[in-house]
Structure 1
Amino acid sequence: MSKMERRMSWTEERVELLKKLWTDGLSASQIASELGNVTRNAVIGKVHRLGLSGRAKAVRPTAPRPQKARRPSVPRPQAAVPQPAMAARMVGNTALKAETFAYAEPQPEAEVRPFRAPATVEEFPVPSERRATILDLNEHTCKWPIGDPTSSDFHFCGCRSKAGSPYCERHAAQAYQPVTDRRRKAH
């Protein structure tokens, strides 16, 4: 028994009235208001539990719906070319409502700096006994790649890494630069 059924008991008379109203084509909302003290969802749940189907066409009000008066279509005048300081904006369902706004004053052109390639990163030589292959790496070794991965002399730094970082102190400083420093170096 559902929570709704515990609050409101479906007596045999109410179930029979529900069945009759359902077959007459009333909506769940209409049936709920007819029965009283029951929600639309409770009616829908009971209909499904009873396995009711095959409804008659829904009852429509006999009075025809009033139709909205249509405005005669009037050709719209061509929009004027916007003035430099003001313009009309036409958007969506507010297309007939003119909204004016001011254009921003032109700003002086920003100084254009020539592109400079970032400074090449100076590689610190790693002693050959410290160099690590992919198989030598663990949580305590620096994982900074050195060289071309397709060449035979490719290796990783292999020095002791900082706590909580995959890189040693020297390579962590290279990898984690503040944004302002990176921008400064690029210009």
Structure 2
Amino acid sequence: MAWTDERVELLKKLWSEGLSASQIAGRLGGVTRNAVIGKVHRLGLSGRATSSRSSVPRPRRTQAPRQNRAPSITFGTRGNVALKPTYEEEYEAAPAPAPVEELVIPLHERATILTLKESMCKWPIGDPTEEGFHFCGRKKTGLSPYCEHHARMAFQPVQSRRREKRSATG
């Protein structure tokens, strides 16, 4: 939409009254907030009347005294929750999973990356940079890429405490 003389005068008037670019764009119609900002910049308009809401300070929220609030189990975080600190209590409450011993795979059942097939367990054993590295190679179960033994190692149940916390927040 073209900037007519009438629209430019209305823009100047609304700008001097302290309206925001979004409000001016809404009143003019057919232009975006960015178009209003660009026109104001090209016209060299500066000094604006301050709006009434900016001259009055916002009232601060008061928090309840500490004794009335429930104690927090974990720290509140902003941003990446992977960095969220947790208390050791959370981990002590859940029983540690029983360690699963590694299977001894006979040489004829071991698979390399070249001999690995779709129906074989793809659990890596050893260090890939060393010569003895191999895959389990036993028959896999269902849709899992692993045999029954390695599927139990890979897919452990969620600890009860974490499960309870999720159900309370969800």
Greater gyration radius: 1
TM norm structure 2:
0.45
TM norm structure 1:
0.42
